[in-house]
Chains A and B, each alone.
Chain A
């Protein structure tokens, strides 16, 4: 995972609420067994409209997505995160995220930036008034800014630390193997097993 301290880039306004993971990447693209190259499935249905925001310049270069509430609801497919990253997104701004999407993003290094709904609306208006405006996400200070405008966002200390250090979860967990072994030794014998006992 790459370190994320602060990022500045073109922000695309996606004026929609309830952008579910089926919309982000339809199930057809889930058949792949590779880990990269999912950008061609991103917003597959929405891209059919040539006026779709990400189909227009300069948003083909966007690295920040500004969306309405309930972004990433629906299925657990991490492909949604990969597709956004493969397209070039580093951060998604929304008033509310689907839980699993948010957690998946955290594991893969896509920053989810939760701000007030009114701030998202304000940012949309700014971006529409000044096409191609760059947005800065400063994780160290927990702020989002564009031109004169800025707001703060919430992120728990642990996730912030992991992002800023670029740390992978599995490695961290494996360093606690003793605790896992102790827990396993105390599990009741009637707990089910899949390979017989």
Chain B
């Protein structure tokens, strides 16, 4: 019997396997940021251990860096202490760090791919649940906790039970104006937030093949939001084209050898998945969330569901709780929901491609008076490239704010935090209670929907803008 993509990558990295024990898996790349690492370094110091492979480790500052005055000392003493701890730890243990002010500083999941460090067939971990983003290149990439960060620092391995595999096949093509974000939000609504638990998911089928690398990253990024351990897409010519010439991609003869090997990373025709989900791309339309988990979503053209419509008691209670928190009535037309805030950014939708899509919608338009909009590039490089294309001018002319790079309002660990009960349309990945500030009501949306919503002041798609006088 053949192997799935995930099995091929897994098997190549098994250092040791014994009956009744988890496999010991070699880790090709360990990414680090300031939030989940300090206690791990402390653990190393306490035990007198070293970092085994600083050369397979990379750190960046992202979660609580300021996006305003980022070139000045950090004002918030707690954030500053955490950043300083990272800087000291990296210096002490010889780890490469991209600090604020460096062109490669930014959200850890934007930085890996832009450097070309994220490559097919790798095992990549980070103390961050959205590490699944890197799976878009055909890597097994997943989040780990701080004890595991310490384990990887000390041993470059992870002790891990081989996960089950799941295929999500997306047949057909996404319609014009429908994005990768809509696809993943639709999927999560359809299958529920727990459906992927215990699985490494491979996204496949025509619609996935047609996605750009950025789109594939958006899809893989949100794998964790339906419980999956990791999301993957088999590498293809698009993957190789994306990587070629990137700073850390192989060069010359090494490139040829790498590509030849990368081409072996696909699921064999006779391989069997433990679970299969099939989706018809034509059912996906611009999608938004109305509740407080990413599975509580609906088509933008629809309405907020009435909790009584749910047969399952637990789902019904969850919907009731969610609507109360969100300040919404069942039956409300989604397009009538007015927002106070729009956030474009995060590791889901903070890449250059996303900013281009936002600018396309905002060009010649004005952000509604009732709305504050911030645009936060995923990395300093993305910021500079966007500025070179003049995208910042488009955002500023439309009345949006243009910021420095980082996680920002995705989770509000820096100053970019709101205070409830304000309502936001956000291109990030989590609409949990309190995620963007206490009491804040988050609607997860795609980039075009976020931009159009900013202009109209209510949840909208670019198609709705035709009715607004420019």
Report A's interface with B, CB cutoff 8 A. Answer: 16-18, 20, 22-23, 26-28, 30-35, 44-45, 68-70, 73-79, 81, 96-100, 103-104, 107-108, 117, 156-158, 169-170, 172-174, 176, 179-180, 182-184, 187-195
* Chain A to chain B: the 7 pairs with minimum beta-carbon distance, closest first: A104-B145, A107-B147, A78-B145, A76-B143, A33-B38, A78-B146, A190-B254
* With A68-B314, A99-B229, A183-B15: A194-B198 Cβ-Cβ less than 8 Å: no
List 14 other contacts, CB 8 Å, given A70-B193, A97-B197, A180-B157. A22-B411, A31-B82, A33-B38, A33-B81, A34-B39, A68-B314, A73-B193, A75-B128, A99-B229, A108-B147, A170-B150, A184-B26, A194-B54, A194-B96
Quick check: B147 and A104 within 8 Å, CB to CB? yes
Distance to closest chain B CB from A80 (angstroms): 9
Question: B338 within 8 Å of A by Cβ?
Answer: no
Quick check: A17 and B55 within 8 Å, CB to CB? no
What does the 1/0 interface line of B432-458 toward A look like (CB < 8 Å)?
111100100000000000000000000
- Which B residues touch A158, using CB under 8 A? 20-22
Selected interface stretch from B114-122, B281-289, B297-305, B347-355: B114-122
Quick check: A190 and B257 within 8 Å, CB to CB? yes
Of the candidates B24, B142, B229, B254, which one forms a contact with A179 in the assembled complex, judged by CB atoms under 8 Å apart? Answer: B24
Quick check: A31 and B412 within 8 Å, CB to CB? no
A4 to B411 alpha-carbon distance, docked (Å): 35
- Which B residues touch A79, using CB under 8 A? 146
- Which B residues touch A107, using CB under 8 A? 145, 147-148, 151
Quick check: B151 and A173 within 8 Å, CB to CB? yes
- B22 (CB) vs chain A CBs: closest residue: A158
Q: Could you name 19 residue pairs across A and B whose Cβ atoms are closer than 8 Å?
A: A16-B321, A18-B193, A18-B318, A30-B413, A31-B79, A35-B42, A69-B194, A70-B227, A75-B128, A75-B430, A76-B129, A78-B145, A158-B20, A158-B22, A174-B154, A180-B15, A182-B15, A195-B94, A195-B96
Question: B58 within 8 Å of A by Cβ?
Answer: yes
Distance to closest chain B CB from A148 (angstroms): 26
- Which A residues touch B128, using CB under 8 A? 75-76
Quick check: B432 and A22 within 8 Å, CB to CB? yes
- Which A residues touch B227, using CB under 8 A? 70, 73, 98-99
Most buried by B among A169, A184, A189: A169
- B325 (CB) vs chain A CBs: closest residue: A45
Quick check: B56 and A96 within 8 Å, CB to CB? no
- Which B residues touch A35, using CB under 8 A? 39, 42
Quick check: A27 and B314 within 8 Å, CB to CB? no
